[in-house]
Amino acid sequence: MLPKMNEKFAAFVEPARHTRGGLRLALALILLMLFYAVLTFQIILVFVGLDVVQSGESFSGSMAALMKGFEDPDTPFQMIVVLCTFFAMLGAVWLVTLIFRRQGLRVLIGPGAVLRNFGIACLIMLPIIVIGVGFGILSGDARPNLSFGTWLLWMIPALPLLLIQVSSEELIFRGYLMQELAARFKARWVWFFIPAIIFGFLHYDPTRMGSNALLIVAITTFFGIIAADVTVRTGNLGAAIGLHFMNNLQAMLLLSLDGTLNGLSLFVTYTHVSDQAIVRTMLLSSLAYLTVIYVIYLFIMRRRERQLLQSDATPFT
């Protein structure tokens, strides 16, 4: 069931084989977290400074207001600030790759038709998003959050920032971490599942999600497994970034669950995140739907792999 090591994925992992070492990886991950924390604080200071200059508010007052916005970003500007902090994640993984490998971010993206894979993944996700948003609207569990004109204006900075957000996460989990583990371990489950599990548990949020916190972990872990699957089969991050981008586009910019990251969303559900029983049903439905899609995907891939024995045609290159 799991995708096997192949020529494309071997080429993707190759840049990590020259600098492998257990202590080296542990130190790299520690520095990654440290760089992320420091750079995030620097970005926050920039926004606080801009607010102090513009509004005349005290430094402590601006800092308190900004941190409150991080907890519940329900305005477009607050969401823009949240998305901007992912430049810190991007900078952190770039610094770690530079220091420990003397390489740039390009090696984490991988070779091949990255943009083509990204585009195909987006097109595959498009009907799924249309169905999801359409069902939310037709079921009556959606209310306008921003006027269409206002939303379009905010999409100018939001879309590239969203791309930065999903790319930085994929560069870390399906890029750096997956490459490093695959270069060290032959067992497929290590480099296939461990990055996805870590990715999932970093979404653990019992304060906001309550009893559904572990269910969110399960869903994001499953998404991480799907992202790992397409990365192994294609040999680059193009498809994984495309799937991640479209998923977050729906959840953060089109139809958001009330009480979550909905400051930039066109629609927001009437259901609030605190309505745990209803939210649990919604999440289980999403998990079931995602499972069906993944099973169909695996069926198609198995057929394609059989065809590959007779020709070089694949859905991604």
Alpha-carbon span 282 to 261, nearest angstrom: 17
pLDDT (0 to 100) of residue 73? 83
Q: Pairing relation of β-strands 255-258 and 143-144?
A: unpaired
Mean pLDDT calculated for residue range 23-43: 93
Q: How far is CA 296 from the centre of its chain?
A: 22
Three state DSSP letters for 72-133:
CCCCHHHHHHHHHCHHHHHHHHHHHHHHHHCCCCHHHHCCCCHHHHHHHHHHHHHHHHHHHH
Mean pLDDT calculated for residue range 140-169: 95
Each residue of 8-24: pLDDT tens digit? Answer: 999 999 999 887 666 88
**C-alpha angle 258/197/90, rounded to 5°?**
75
pLDDT (0 to 100) of residue 250? 93
Helix (H/G/I), strand (E/B), else coil: 205:
coil
Q: State yes or no: pLDDT of 175 exceeds 90.
A: yes
Higher pLDDT, 307 or 178: 178
Average pLDDT of the chain is 89
Alpha-carbon span 12 to 287, nearest angstrom: 29
Mean pLDDT calculated for residue range 29-46: 94
Mean pLDDT calculated for residue range 37-66: 85
pLDDT (0 to 100) of residue 308? 61
Copy the structure tokens of residue 12.
């993707």
pLDDT (0 to 100) of residue 309? 59
pLDDT (0 to 100) of residue 1? 64
Q: State yes or no: pLDDT of 297 exceeds 80.
A: no
pLDDT (0 to 100) of residue 311? 61
pLDDT level of residue 42 (50, 70, 90 thresholds): very high
Q: State yes or no: pLDDT of 304 exceeds 60.
A: yes
pLDDT (0 to 100) of residue 259? 87
Each residue of 198-234: pLDDT tens digit? Answer: 999 999 999 888 889 999 999 999 999 999 999 999 9
Percent of the chain with pLDDT over 90: 57
Alpha-carbon span 97 to 80, nearest angstrom: 27
pLDDT (0 to 100) of residue 41? 92
pLDDT level of residue 235 (50, 70, 90 thresholds): very high
Higher pLDDT, 36 or 69: 36
Report the range of poorest mean pLDDT among 6-15, 144-153, 294-303. Answer: 294-303
pLDDT (0 to 100) of residue 11? 94
pLDDT (0 to 100) of residue 65? 79
pLDDT level of residue 317 (50, 70, 90 thresholds): low
Higher pLDDT, 60 or 100: 100
DSSP secondary structure code for residue 176 in this structure: I
Contacts of 42 (CB under 8 A, 6+ apart): 88
The single residue listed with the structure tokens 């440290």 is: 34
Q: State yes or no: pLDDT of 88 exceeds 80.
A: yes
pTM confidence score: 0.91
Helix (H/G/I), strand (E/B), else coil: 207:
helix
Higher pLDDT, 186 or 264: 264
User: CA separation (Å) from 229 to 208, 237, 264, 294?
Assistant: 30, 11, 30, 10
Each residue of 248-285: pLDDT tens digit? Answer: 999 999 999 998 888 999 999 999 988 999 999 988 98
Q: Give the residue from 282, 261, 277 showing the smallest Cα distance to 141.
A: 282
